[in-house]
Each structure stands twice: as C-alpha cells, then as structure tokens.
Amino acid sequence: MFSLTELLSASTHPGYSRPCGFPALLLTAFLFCRIIKTVVKTFKYFFGVRFEVKGLENFEVEGPAIIVSNHQSILDMMGLMEVLPDDCVQVGKKELMYAGTVGLIIYLGGVIFINRKSTTSAKMVMAEVAKTMAADKVKVWVYPEGTRNCTGDLLPFKKGAFHLAVQAQVPVIPVVYSSFTTFYNPKKNLFTSGKIKVEVLPAIETKGLTSGDVSDLTDRCFRTMRETLFRLSGCPSEAKDSS
C-alpha cells in the first residue's frame, strides 16, 4: 500500500514509487503550504478583496476529512489560503502540473493530480488516497464541481469526493464562498474590489455509509451548499426554489 507521500510522487511518475522517504515529502508539502499561505494572504490588500469567514471551528474535527467547496475562479486560491487547515492537501487537474513555476509550486505544495479525462485513472488515484489519508492524518480538499464556474450557481457535483469520503469513512466538511458575479468578470479576468463571504459548514458524518449511499450524500451536500451559496450571495428566493 502506498503512503500519501509516495502517492504524490507516484501520481507524477506512474510506475515509480519513492523508496522510503516518509514523511519527508508530506512534511515538505505542509511547510511549503504554510509559506504559500503567508504570501498569498497578503495579496488581498493589493487586490482590494476582503474576506469574512464564519464557522472555522467546524474544521476542528479529529483527524482526516474531505473538504468540498465551490470553485469560481483563480480568486479562489486567495480564498483557499484564508481558511486552509495546516494538515490539508488539494486535488487538482493534471494539467496544472505542467504550468511551469506555478506547477512546481503546487506540486511541492502537495497537490494530488488527477486526470479528469480518464475516470478510471482518477478513481484509482482517489482510491489510494482513501486508503492512506487515515494513516497520514491529512484532510483532502476537493472542488466537486470539477471545474471553474462563475455563474452564481453550482454545477452538478462529480461524485469522486463523496466516494473518497465513504471509502475512507471520514466526514465531509462543506465550505461555501459567496458569488463573485457582482465584482468579477471571468472572461476578461477583471475584478473590482469586493467582499467575499466564506462559511465553513458543520461536518457531515459518513461512518457506516456504503457506496450505495454516495448519491444521497452527494445530493445532500449539493443542496446544503447551494442554499448557503444563495444566502451568502443575497438571493434568498432562489434558495427557496432549490429546496
């Protein structure tokens, strides 16, 4: 069985697994993340973006968990760093790894790369993560929409994050960022100053759930997050429609 540390390298070089090295790479990743966090947390002052965070105490679950959140744009990287727990890695698309310096930074930051075009290989990587995340005591951050989406609503969720939670029998913690639509133009990548509300919701337990329950778990999370998104973005009527 791979440790997450090995997996981080295995996902980059298929067939190659690091001889030992635990926990060097994972600890390097956590250290690196702290540096990135410190640097990126200063960006908001230059960009004129403010964050209002609620519910941070919901991250204080004992041990590993899956964190799921909505993904609107590159601005989320700033929002991510506002709340990211210290013992957390993210799932990202493989293409990011090849993005030069940025790729190197996020590789060292411990991102688990998946190939979105191959469900089979993505599932294999995530099944390994499920096996090792408990041993490595890490939280894993997944964007269940699977892509950026700045429409003010959520895309239907992919199920990978929820399979992962059920396989590892760890709780799901939803995090919702209010809509950027009022101050951000994704096509031109332009934004004016604005406030982003962030809410960490209470953990949803998965103990005792099996793969047959994944669809329900996905739906439940989706509905809760959609209601929260509309509430935080100030459109309560739509929230009522969805429930």
Ligand X SMILES: CCCCCCCC/C=C\CCCCCCCC(=O)SCCNC(=O)CCNC(=O)[C@H](O)C(C)(C)COP(=O)(O)OP(=O)(O)OC[C@H]1O[C@@H](n2cnc3c(N)ncnc32)[C@H](O)[C@@H]1OP(=O)(O)O
Residue from 93, 123, 131, 231 binding ligand NKO (CB under 6 A): 93
15: CB partners within 8 A, 6+ apart: none
Secondary structure of residue 197 in the 3-state scheme: strand
**Encoded amino acid at 161, one letter:** A
Residue from 68, 112, 122, 165 binding ligand X (CB under 6 A): 122
b or e along 127-166 (b: 16 or more beta carbons within 10 Å of the residue's beta carbon)? Answer: ebbbbbbeebebbbbbbbbbeebbebbbeebbbbbbbbbb
Task: Quote the CA–CA distance of 136 and 122 in Å, as a whole number.
Answer: 20
Residue from 41, 116, 131, 220 binding ligand X (CB under 6 A): 116
Q: Residue 130 interacts with ligand NKO (CB under 6 A)?
A: no
Which among ligand NKO, ligand X, none contacts residue 66 (Cβ within 5 to 8 A by kind)?
Answer: none
By CB under 6 A, the residues from 146 to 205 that bind ligand X are 146-147, 158-161, 163-164
113: CB partners within 8 A, 6+ apart: 11, 12, 92, 93, 94, 96, 97, 107, 125
- Asked whether the bond before 23 is cis by omega within 30 degrees of 0, the reply is yes
Shortest separation between residue 23's beta carbon and ligand X, angstroms: 19
Q: Residue 215 interacts with ligand NKO (CB under 6 A)?
A: no
Residue from 18, 31, 40, 169 binding ligand X (CB under 6 A): 40
Select 6 or 82, whichever has its Cβ closest to ligand NKO.
Answer: 82
Residue from 12, 23, 24, 39 binding ligand NKO (CB under 6 A): 39
Task: Quote the CA–CA distance of 66 and 90 in Å, as a whole number.
Answer: 10
Contacts with ligand X by CB under 6 A: the residue count is 32
Select 74 or 234, whichever has its Cβ closest to ligand X.
Answer: 74
Sheet bearing 139-142, strands edge to edge: 49-54, 194-200, 172-177, 66-69, 139-142, 88-93, 112-114
Shortest separation between residue 205's beta carbon and ligand NKO, angstroms: 28
Select 18 or 159, whichever has its Cβ closest to ligand X.
Answer: 159
Q: Residue 41 interacts with ligand NKO (CB under 6 A)?
A: no
Q: Cβ(172)–Cβ(65) under 8 Å?
A: yes
Of the candidates 148, 42, 30, 126, the residue with the CA atom closest to the CA atom of residue 84: 30
Shortest separation between residue 51's beta carbon and ligand NKO, angstroms: 17
Shortest separation between residue 208's beta carbon and ligand NKO, angstroms: 32
Q: Residue 96 interacts with ligand NKO (CB under 6 A)?
A: yes
Residues forming the site for ligand NKO (CB under 6 A): 35-36, 39-40, 71, 74, 77, 93, 96, 102, 105-106, 147-148
